Amino acid sequence: MKKPSSNVKELKVGDRAPDFTLPTHSEGELNLKWYEGRQNVVLAFYPGDWTPACSSQIPGYEEKSAKFLRYNCQVLGISVDSLASHKAWSASLGGISFPLMSDFWPQGEVSQKYGVLSEKGFANRTVFLIDVNGIIRFIGRYDYETVPDINDLFRQIEKLESESTTAHKSKSFPA
């Protein structure tokens, strides 16, 4: 298993989100860059399928999928679990419509790129909000057993939407 590198730069708000391509439980391979210019992205790294907090967090996003769509926001879940695990877990939850991405091989490579790979080899629970231009606008870091507050995430998305609308108006109607 790949050990987390100590020379990984910690990402911060305002950084460009590192690009990657990973296989998903439902759609083949997906590439983050594809969403640029199209949709905002919620990139939800989680420790593992079948764990208690993850079994609340991921279905919570599924329950709010229509609201994410209203904000032109695509949710992507990422863990180091295999595709087989993602498929079985999704089925056990009654189906997850958004992509669960497998950072299984090379083990944790994308998690490491984002600075969230734990020393034990799983992704630390971290949520990135990436705007339509590929820029990180919010980073939420949570303890292993903590389910992120989805209302806080939607406040961040609404803030992003408000800033985007204000910027669009100022470009459309110069003073």
**Is 16 among the domain residues?**
no
Task: Find out whether 138 and 161 touch, Cβ atoms under 8 Å.
Answer: no
As a whole number, mean pLDDT of residues 76-88 equals: 98
Q: Which residues contact 37 (CB under 8 A, 6 or more apart)?
A: 132, 133
Residue 58 token pair? 């991921």
Question: Which tens digits make up the pLDDT trace of 161-171?
Answer: 988 777 655 55
**Is 7 among the domain residues?**
no
134: left (phi over 0), alpha (psi -120 to 50) or beta: left
**Is 9 among the domain residues?**
no
Question: Which tens digits make up the pLDDT trace of 116-147?
Answer: 999 999 999 999 999 999 999 999 999 999 99
Residue 13 token pair? 């708000």
**Is 57 among the domain residues?**
yes
Q: What is the pLDDT of residue 8?
A: 61
- Strongest mean pLDDT among 25-29, 98-102, 167-171: 98-102
Neighbours of 114 (CB within 10 A): 24
As a whole number, mean pLDDT of residues 26-42 equals: 96
Write out the residue range of the structural domain in which residue 38 sits. Answer: 21-172
* Rounded Cα–Cα distance for residues 73 and 112 (Å): 24
Active site residue 73: no
Total domains in the chain come to 1
Active-site residue (options: 54, 58, 80, 127): 54
